[in-house]
Homo-oligomer: A and B are copies of this chain.
């Protein structure tokens, strides 16, 4: 059947005993969206999901708001809540914003000379994941790298904006056929950028990052046309 995911949701009921019910519901739905189990475009019916999770519609609506805040779902008035679908224009804007945040972080690092251990840790995490051939972990490590890079800007808001942005990018990644082919090439790029920053060559690091983002963007866009 096409909606096996709804019966799979029922197994979550046991773990949802304590603390903010709406957040628990949001967590359950978020992982299923990020894992690609809930495909973009599917409508999230209040009645059916509420019944499956054993929560009231009020609580469920609060969870929908949380996910809407993260842009993982879109709310259409009087029509319901749908898993977000990213079109090419959305991906373009995602990368425009990434360039703004990550370039600003590198330039800030040029004057601050901040600690880079988090950045190197993310590179190591990626190497380990690649060695284990765990492509999902490799994707996570890649995101951790860019989170750590953005953190160099010293702005919590920039951090949070990047976290949100990367969560949205998972919507596209989940639809990618071959996660290895997509994530693996960027492992070397991350190491290069970290090395250049460590050596104080911030201009080179910026150039490498921009080339890196350009490659990733075009690769994603061409994958979306097919």
Contacts and interface: CB of A to CB of B under 8 A. Distances in A.
Contacts of A69: 69
Contact of A104 (B20, B65, B100): B100
Interface in A159-198: 161, 165
Given A18-B77, A20-B77, A69-B69, A100 B62 contact: no
Interface stretch (A34-42, A44-52, A150-158): A150-158
Given A77-B20, A103-B104, A153 B61 contact: no
A53 B153 CA distance: 43
Given A62-B61, A62-B65, A100 B101 contact: yes
A93 B61 contact: no
A150 to B, nearest CB: 10
Given A65-B62, A65-B65, A100-B101, A93 B18 contact: no
B97 A157 contact: yes
A96 interface: yes
A58 interface: yes
Interface in A196-223: none
Nearest to A107: B103
A153 B96 contact: yes
A103 B158 CA distance: 14
A61 B153 CA distance: 35
B100 A158 contact: yes
Interface in A69-91: 69, 77
Contacts of A97: 155, 157-158
24 contacts: A18-B77, A20-B77, A61-B62, A62-B65, A65-B65, A69-B69, A93-B155, A93-B156, A93-B157, A96-B153, A96-B154, A96-B155, A96-B158, A97-B158, A100-B100, A100-B101, A100-B153, A100-B155, A100-B158, A103-B104, A104-B104, A157-B161, A157-B165, A161-B161
Interface of A: 18, 20, 58, 61-62, 65, 69, 77, 93-94, 96-97, 100-101, 103-104, 153-158, 161, 165
